[in-house]
Amino acid sequence: MAKIEQGILGPFRGTVGTVIGYRWRDRWCMRARPSHYNDRRSEAQLEQRSRFKAMIQFASPATPLLRIGLRAWAAERGITEGNAFLKLNHECFGGMAGISSITRLSRLSSDTSDIDYPRLRFSQGSLPGVQGADYERRGDGSVAVRWARGLGRGEDRVHVYAYCPAAGTGLAAATAERRQRGAQFVLPADFAGEEVHFWLFAEGGDGKVSNTLYIKEKDEENDLHNTGVVGRGAGGDGSGGAGAADDAVHAAGVVAVRAELAAPPGVAAAVVDG
């Protein structure tokens, strides 16, 4: 049954005869009703439906963040940000990355354990990203994420997203300026003691975004290597002497973040403002 809210010549939602009316991105549209539908429920069809369902369930809580990270990429292709996420990440679901199409169609999986988390993309763009991000979970349920500033502007915003497979949901955990070199937040109670994955990307004042960076857990032994401070040297980033200067900025940021992470609860640590 269709609902016609503005008279017989107005837009409508639902089925009228062989026509279906619907609303898409603030536009009223119509499409032909299929004359028949052959649902064979083959293994390949069921596998594709399971994957699609898993992708929709995963992406739904991230919708506000996808509207930032994939807005431009989606607009260039005339699709929604949600469809852009599906297009960019379909091979990350069901453990199918790098598997031939024949083998892929023979496997059924909608378990979140088969998601290739490090390869997921919540943003796609040309803005320089932050570098060497890691996180540390604390006993009080809070999480400290830190990063080296990178080559972008200090006032760029850095968005952090967290996802818990056991809870089956995620959330936009924090937003901070790039020059802060870190953010701290508290996870929901149902995330406590469970596996949690984190990603981040940067957003500039002009709306440009960086690519997505998967955040790894803090590793003290390889700490400086992870932040990109060690091993670059003068001009190691292809910019001549600017590389050494940038390394100094990164090193200052690492010291500042370490001081913040080491500070006792309730005591604010000084942060170097680059």
Q: What is the band of 7 on the pLDDT scale with cuts at 50, 70, 90?
A: low
pLDDT at position 104: 46
Please state the three-class secondary structure of 100-142 as a single string. Answer: CHHHHHCCCCCCHHHCCHHHCCCCCCCCCCCEEEEEEECCCCE
d(CA 132, CA 69): 20
Range scoring the smallest mean pLDDT among 50-59, 89-98, 185-194, 237-246? 237-246
Answer whether residue 232 shows pLDDT above 60.
no
Write out the two tokens for 105.
């169609």
Mean pLDDT of 178-206: 93
Residue type, 119: R
SS3 category, 37: coil
Q: Which of 106-120, 121-135, 256-270 has the highest mean pLDDT?
A: 121-135
| Residues making up the chain, counted from first to last | 274
Domains of the chain: 3-32 (no CATH), 43-119 (no CATH), 131-261 (2.60.40.10)
CB atoms within 10 A of CB 251: 16
Q: Does position 52 have pLDDT exceeding 90, yes or no?
A: no
Q: Which of 26-40, 163-177, 198-212, 241-255 has the lowest mean pLDDT?
A: 241-255
pLDDT at residue 4, rounded to an integer: 64
Is the per-residue pLDDT at 88 higher than 60? yes
Q: Provide mean pLDDT across the span 200-226.
A: 80
Q: Which pair of tokens denotes residue 6?
A: 């503005």
pLDDT digits (tens, 9 = 90+) for 33-47: 776 666 667 776 777
pLDDT value of position 85: 94
Q: Which residue has the higher pLDDT, 31 or 80?
A: 80
Q: For residue 211, is pLDDT > 90? A: yes
pLDDT band at residue 9 using 50, 70 and 90 as cut-offs: low
Q: 76 falls in which pLDDT band (50, 70, 90)?
A: very high
Span 152-180, average pLDDT = 93
